Amino acid sequence: MSFRRKTYDGDIFGRSTGTAERGNTFDFAGKTDKYASTKRTAGNGRNLRNQEDLFQEEADKDRYLITYSDLITLLLGLFIILYAISNVDLTKYSKMSSAMGNIFGTNVKAINNDAFNSANLKVVASGIEDLKTRLNDVIVRHNYAKSVSLEENERGITIHILENILFPSGKADINKTSQLVLGELASILHQLPNDIRVEGHTDNIPINSDLYPSNWHLSVARALNTAYFLIDGHKLIPEKVTVVGYAEYKPIAENTTPEGRAKNRRVDIVIIK
């Protein structure tokens, strides 16, 4: 029986003295760090996303400020434009007042902004009175006081010219004898900046002729011929002149008497206020 001593690759305690394959003592830690790092990265990603969502919500909440600021800017520009066009150019007003003063025979001086309204009313009132005086002088000088009269109302100044000095009965051709007084009136009207309205009127007696089948035709023809005489013969600006025919529907007297009908057969020259 053979006895063989067991050979141990180690020390007396039975531990192996051979070089055993050992792992890195930090491998566990390394593995732990690996997973831990992954977890932290995922956590950081969620935090970043949460922060981005927070910033996005804050930006959405403040988005209305952009629209609001644009609106305020537009309103500011609008008010600036309104203010700019509302200012009175005193230089231009002074020139206009002087020109109107020359027309109406008054000496209008430049005024400051504080007295604008009151002075403007005085200029208009003074100009109207001077205009009426000049028109009356023409009427009196030609002895037409019974056939031509003035009336002031909300429309302006109306010159009533009766048929007997303008037209033959039932016709619309202007008498040569009336052309002189119309010419002098036109020289005054020509200087005015106002619009001029020429209105034809008749009485209520019907007319039926080849030229004028009705009073409408006659009233329009008389107003048209009067206006054309003022424009063509005395250079009234056509753009300022309006022609209207009223027939018998705008009487100033009763049509029951010959005198009343004579007053209704007329041409009115209205100086628009």
Taking only the tens place, the pLDDT of each residue in 223-252 is 999 999 999 888 889 999 999 999 999 999
Indicate if 78 and 163 belong to the same structural domain.
no
The answer to whether residue 119 is domain-embedded is: no
Q: Which helix (H) or strand (E) holds 233?
A: helix 215-234
Backbone angles phi, psi at 82, to 5 degrees: -60, -40
pLDDT of residue 69: 87
Indicate if 74 and 162 belong to the same structural domain.
no
- Which range is least confidently modeled, 39-43, 133-137, 181-185? 39-43
Q: Say which residue the tokens 């008497």 belong to.
A: 257
% of residues, the chain, pLDDT over 70: 62
Indicate if 147 and 237 belong to the same structural domain.
yes
Higher model confidence: residue 44 or residue 130? 130
Quote the mean pLDDT of the chain: 76
Quick one: average pLDDT of 50-59?
61
Per-residue pLDDT at 176 exceeds 70: yes
Asked if residues 266 and 201 have their Cβ atoms less than 8 Å apart, the reply is yes
Q: Say which residue the tokens 């005086």 belong to.
A: 133
The answer to whether residue 35 is domain-embedded is: yes
Indicate if 155 and 67 belong to the same structural domain.
no
What domain count does the chain have? 2
The answer to whether residue 24 is domain-embedded is: no
pLDDT of residue 57: 61
Which letter, b or e, does each residue of 37-69 get, where b requires 16 or more Cβ atoms within 10 Å of its Cβ? eeeeeeeeeeeeeeeeeeeeeeeeeeeeeeeee
Indicate if 267 and 148 belong to the same structural domain.
yes
pLDDT of residue 36: 47
What residue numbers bound the domain in which 162 lies? 142-272
Indicate if 79 and 150 belong to the same structural domain.
no
The answer to whether residue 257 is domain-embedded is: yes
Asked if residues 200 and 221 have their Cβ atoms less than 8 Å apart, the reply is yes
Last residue of a domain, one of 67, 83, 99: 83
Indicate if 166 and 252 belong to the same structural domain.
yes
- The two three-digit tokens of residue 131, written as one number: 């205009």
Per-residue pLDDT at 146 exceeds 50: yes
Q: How confident is the model at residue 219 (pLDDT cuts 50, 70, 90)?
A: very high
Q: Which helix (H) or strand (E) holds 197?
A: strand 196-201
Instruction: Give me the CATH number covering residue 247.
Output: 3.30.1330.60
The answer to whether residue 60 is domain-embedded is: yes
The answer to whether residue 88 is domain-embedded is: no
Indicate if 159 and 37 belong to the same structural domain.
no
What's the per-residue H, E or C state across 80-149? Answer: HHHHHHHCCCHHHHHHHHHHHHHHHCCCCCCCCCCCHHHHHHHHHHHHHHHHHHHHHHHHHHCCCCCCEE
Total Cβ atoms within 10 A of residue 210: 5
Q: How confident is the model at residue 58 (pLDDT cuts 50, 70, 90)?
A: low
Per-residue pLDDT at 28 exceeds 50: no
Q: What angle is formed at CA 217 by the lines to CA 214 and CA 219, rounded to 5 degrees?
A: 105
The answer to whether residue 130 is domain-embedded is: no
Orientation of helix 215-234 relative to helix 176-189, angle to 10°: 60
End-to-end CA distance of the chain: give it in Å, rounded: 156
The answer to whether residue 239 is domain-embedded is: yes
pLDDT of residue 110: 45
Q: Which amino acid appears at position 171 of this protein? A: K
Per-residue pLDDT at 256 exceeds 80: yes
- Which range is least confidently modeled, 25-29, 70-74, 212-216, 237-241? 25-29
Indicate if 160 and 263 belong to the same structural domain.
yes
Q: How confident is the model at residue 2 (pLDDT cuts 50, 70, 90)?
A: very low
